[in-house]
Amino acid sequence: MRNVVRRPYMCGVFGAFNVPDAASITYYALHSLQHRGQEGCGIVTFDGETMHREKGLGLVTEVFSKEKLEHLPGTVAIGHVRYSTAGGGGLDNVQPFTFRHYTGNFALAHNGNIVNSEQLRRYLEGNGSLFHSTSDSEILAHLIKKNNHEAQRIDAIIEALNMIEGAFAFLIMTPRRIYACRDKYGLRPLSLGRLNGGWVVSSETCAFDTIGAEFVRDVEPGEIVSLDHHGLRSNDYSQYKRRKMCAMEYIYFSRPDSDIEGCNVHAFRKETGRLLWREAPANADIVVGVPDSSLSAAMGYSEEGGLPYEMGLIKNKYVGRTFIQPSQALREKGVKMKLSAVKSIVRGKRVALIDDSIVRGTTSKRIVDMLHEAGATEVHVRIASPPITHPCFYGVDISTYDELLCAHKSVEEVRRVIGA
């Protein structure tokens, strides 16, 4: 069926083991990962005896005060920032989740999407599992609990992961260690680092720069890394491993200062801009990038074509990213609130407008109109990635053909729709 609706989502995860004041470190790391989700966030810590949790709806700086961080003691922590409506909004679906078990409590944070979640949920509920949220992330915890014996907890995790299909980066915190797990395709990024003699793990390396950690390596596809007082141990949970990193990590989601699989995101985007000029040069006076994720590509386009690069669009930094707003109505309002054209720069100019991608076309049409209203004589739109023509069920909020502009329109038809 072409129009089955699902709600995958993108998030950010961070963990710290044997790191002094782990809650504060996690707070600053989550702030660096805020671009991956703005709807809610949470931190769970362990102080040697008890797990402590604080979470809420909103930005990291809105949810966590100094007083709340003081109520999160310990040298072990995991944190999460959430976006979109996988399973619905509300505080119940804000992670990390915590779970009680006779072998010991544990906490879980997840970035990605479990594509066989409905089947697994029916199976678990039929065997007595009680769910406390509508998020697919809770499924892994119940799978672990079904076969969990303390001496074989790693075996329980391996068995659970082999029942899951989809894209994921999981962090599982127990009283003794943190497990970092990545799906067998490596669709979602996850990196390891060292800090003050302890270990840190993050969705993106930009968080390491913020907290002063040293990058060690990426978690490999199909790998479970165990971080404890004995150091780092690695296990492969799947024999079938094939690297298929999500292109949207490079194109849109990740911060330019992050390195993914050894490739700097800014350098990648700049090179796409260079290639874009060779493929589709524009008869323009200036090059303007759509802030923020398209600026690197715009720089590459400008340099390759010998055209001046100008800041023709200004971003209101206090408005969330429009693509990851949870509804179309909010996206449209978000575009109008977050961007404005610099009239003195674009007036009377032929503008080559560089954007990273076209998903629904919401942003592109509004920006083209905005530039014309500001006095641009022509707007030539250039997109630094191939057309998105199929839905994604692996953790990106593009889940039906109907909402993908390029799925049912030619390049010329898209041009007419966005007014370029």
Instruction: Kindly list the catalytic residues.
Output: 11
CA distance 316 to 325: 15
CA distance 88 to 405: 25
Q: Please say whether the beta carbons of 234 and 225 come within 8 A.
A: yes
CA distance 71 to 55: 12
CA distance 289 to 207: 25
Dihedral of the alpha carbons of 193, 196, 199, 203, in degrees to the nearest 10? -40
Q: Please say whether the beta carbons of 361 and 390 come within 8 A.
A: no
Q: Please say whether the beta carbons of 82 and 59 come within 8 A.
A: no
Residue 400, classified by CB atoms within 10 Å of its CB into exposed (0-12), middle (13-18) or buried (19+), is: middle
3-state secondary structure of 40: strand
Q: Please say whether the beta carbons of 65 and 24 come within 8 A.
A: no
